[in-house]
Amino acid sequence: MAALNPNTWLNFAQARVLLLDDHATGSNILIQIVRAFGVVHFDACTTIAEAQKCIADKEFHLILINGNLKDPAVYDFINWLRRTDTPPNCYASVILIAGHTQRSNVERARDSGANVILAKPISPTSVLERIVWASREKRPYVKSTVYAGPDRRFKEVEPPRGRSGRRQNDPSRTASDADASRQMSGQP
Amino acid sequence: MSETVLTNWINPLGTLLNAPGGIRIGDALKQAAANLELIREPCLEELDQRIGQLDALSSEHGAQPDDAVKLEMYQISNDIHAVAGVVALADLSAAAFSLCELIDRLRGKQAWNKPAIDVHIASLHLLRSSSDEDRTSIVDNLYRLIDSVAPIASKPDVKKQAHASSSDASRSA
């Protein structure tokens, strides 16, 4: 991740931020950090129900979630958000802030639909780096029966050799196309 | 084959952050550090309180606590890991992470090891109260301890995870 340039200006004045953290001190730490960045419009929720109500009532551009909520439904909450089908909130940038993650939840965290997972302990620099990264996010959003969230593929690569892509915008290349392409470029 | 829908979305966050005005990143980070300094004392008080809670839970519930107590101890350790790192107590944070890992492994095995848990809690006290100890070796020995009492087949690099600074530990989902 590129280092932040201290002379770059960022304007959070119009950004609407939702914080979801049931740990009072953790929430306070996040609030102190985002306030320092110039965030003025934010809602700090301590329960998933509270956050769902906020999302139903207001628009948010950035959502910061403690991945270690006591409520184990935290990953379901992100999935719910992605499937609400109500822009802009369903496409809001979600940063999942995770401490130690139980083995049984590692895959759920990965597949939750968050844009970024940020490891605790956090620092102002790490939070800002991830926000800037999320703000530059250009990946399309995917919705399928098993996953809803930003496309997990970071590179535009063709489907495996000999197989057609599963998505509408996948390059539809056959094995012979790929072979021809490699021969033309001199690759083995 | 399941139907997959792709939607291209112009992210408004980038447009907002790039609007004229705002704050220089260097100044924002300085302000954030100043804000966190203001809550340092309450954070330290919370750490002491949380370590005390671990002490109480371990001594009250004996050698075979029920799963709710194990989960509570895990969550308290995770809170210590998060807060200690913010107030620059990296070794305390790493030791708390080690306790999380130990509890998670033991819960996975339907087992408990009170002596190993208590060694972790004693180490949290030591790391919180003293600056003279060889702090790194305390944490290293905790990692060895959990590998000894609760080994797992595919062993993650606990030390690397615990020390992963936030700047290099994120991964995109």
Q: Has residue B89 been placed in a domain?
A: yes
Q: Residue range A76-93: average pLDDT?
A: 95
* B66 or A169, greater pLDDT: B66
Which of B5, B9, B17, B71 to mutate to test binding with chain A, by most A CBs within 10 Å of its CB?
B17
Alpha carbons B69 and B66: distance in angstroms, whole number: 6
- Count structural domains, chain B: 1
Q: pLDDT tens, position by position, for chain B (173 residues)? A: 568 899 998 889 999 999 999 999 999 999 999 999 999 999 999 999 999 999 999 999 988 899 999 999 999 999 999 999 999 999 999 999 999 999 999 998 889 999 999 999 999 999 998 766 678 889 999 999 999 989 886 655 666 666 554 333 334 44
Name the token pair of B115.
């002596």
Rg of chain A in Å (alpha carbons): 19
Q: Has residue B15 been placed in a domain?
A: no
Interface of A with B in 105-134 (CB under 8 A): 109-132, 134
Burial-class residue A146 by CB neighbours within 10 Å (0-12, 13-18, 19+): exposed
Q: Do residue B173 and residue A114 have CB atoms under 8 angstroms apart? A: yes
Which of B1, B5, B8, B11 to mutate to test binding with chain A, by most A CBs within 10 Å of its CB?
B11
DSSP code of residue A105: G
Q: Has residue B153 been placed in a domain?
A: yes
pTM of the model: 0.85
Burial-class residue A168 by CB neighbours within 10 Å (0-12, 13-18, 19+): exposed
CATH number, domain at B73?
A: 1.20.120
Alpha carbons A3 and B14: distance in angstroms, whole number: 17
What are the domain boundaries of chain A?
16-150, 156-188
Q: Has residue B63 been placed in a domain?
A: yes
Model confidence pLDDT, tens digit, residues A21-77: 999 999 999 999 999 999 999 999 999 999 999 999 999 999 999 999 999 899 999
In this model, does residue A174 exceed pLDDT 80? no
Q: Has residue B17 been placed in a domain?
A: no
B156 shares contact with chain A (CB less than 8 Å) = no
| Residues in A touching B11 (Cβ below 8 Å) | 91, 93, 134-138
The pLDDT value recorded for residue A8 is 96
In this model, does residue A150 exceed pLDDT 50? yes
- Name the residue range of residue B92's domain: 41-172
* A124 or B170, greater pLDDT: A124
A77's CB contacts (< 8 A; 6+ apart) are A20, A48, A51, A52, A65
B163's CB contacts (< 8 A; 6+ apart) are B90, B94
- The yes/no answer to whether this complex scores an ipTM above 0.90 is no
Alpha carbons A98 and A51: distance in angstroms, whole number: 18
Question: CATH top-level class for A16-150?
Answer: alpha beta
Interface of A with B in 32-51 (CB under 8 A): 32-33, 35-38
Q: Do residue A136 and residue B11 have CB atoms under 8 angstroms apart? A: yes
Q: Has residue B113 been placed in a domain?
A: yes
Please state, rounded to an integer, the average pLDDT across all residues of chain A.
87
Q: Do residue A121 and residue B166 have CB atoms under 8 angstroms apart? A: yes
Nearest-Cα distance to chain B for A25, in Å, is 7
